[in-house]
Amino acid sequence: MQIIPAIDIIDGKCVRLTQGDYQQKKIYNEHPLEVAKQFEDAGLMRLHLVDLDGAKTGAVKNWKVLETIAINTNLIIDFGGGIKTEKDIDIVFNSGAALATVGSIAVKDENTFISWIEKYGANKFLLGADVKEEKIAVAGWLETTDIGIYDFIENYVQKGIRQLFCTDVSKDGKLEGPAIELYKNIISQFPSLHFIASGGVASIDDLIELNAIGCAGAIVGKAIYEGRISVHEIAQINKNDIK
């Protein structure tokens, strides 16, 4: 299981939200590149970069942060938040992202997302499924739909998507542990999916449990910034694998 650190951006600064609530924002570092370099210096190879301004407004906003990190590190970056048009995708790839992270557009405009898969290839997208009570949430978690998580995944697996991460919004940012049962069910139903857990990770034990149930990856954010898990511990786990 690969552990992927996260950087969430508002106004160009590294922040974390609690349960996707923009009113529950905490700034951890005004210079995201410093944070990214700490990850790289510790031996990490991946970065999950989220443009929360973009997610809220519906257009990529913090691409300059992406560009700066991509130019100054060798991290493999997936970038999401506000990707709604091909222009947004081109900005993201031209700014240095290896993968475009897509969520809301896959929910609200399936035909457009399918056309992107056909044009760029399914392997260029990391599909994000944000969930509240097993229903898909969109627009930076501000809006809940009636679409069930399992139907959503099934639809896009059939379209070629193989990489997906799922965030239970009720867990995210609370450091109360990940949505183990939900993830077990997803992995059981979609064994060929490269499934990445996201949200709620508070300790090394959580990562060990996620590995044990078959997650291919785990995104870790607030636990790092609050000092619950060190980047060096994560790097060691990535290097040696979790047992």
pLDDT tens-place string over residues 19-40: 667 777 788 888 999 999 999 9
What token pair was written down for 134?
A: 């097993």
Q: Give the number of other Cβ atoms within 10 Å of residue 181's Cβ.
A: 10
Backbone angles phi, psi at 95, to 5 degrees: -90, -5
Question: Does 172 participate in catalysis according to the annotation?
Answer: no
Active-site residue, from 51, 78, 130, 168: 130
Give yes or no for residue 242 having a pLDDT over 60: no
Domains of the chain: 2-240 (3.20.20.70)
CA–CA distance, 203 with 222 (Å, rounded to integer): 11
Per the document, the length of the chain is: 243
Question: Does 8 participate in catalysis according to the annotation?
Answer: yes
Active-site residue, from 8, 51, 78, 88: 8
What's the pTM value of the predicted model, to 2 decimals? Answer: 0.90
Q: What is the pLDDT of residues 147-170, one digit of tens each?
A: 999 999 999 999 999 999 998 887
Choice between 96 and 140, residue whose per-residue pLDDT is larger: 96
Alpha carbon of residue 208 to chain centroid: 19
Q: What is residue 68's predicted lDDT score, i.e. its pLDDT?
A: 98
Nearest CA-CA partner of 218 in 174, 170, 179: 179
Q: What is the pLDDT of residues 197-222, one digit of tens each?
A: 998 899 999 999 999 999 999 999 98
Largest CA-CA distance found in the chain, in angstroms, rounded: 43
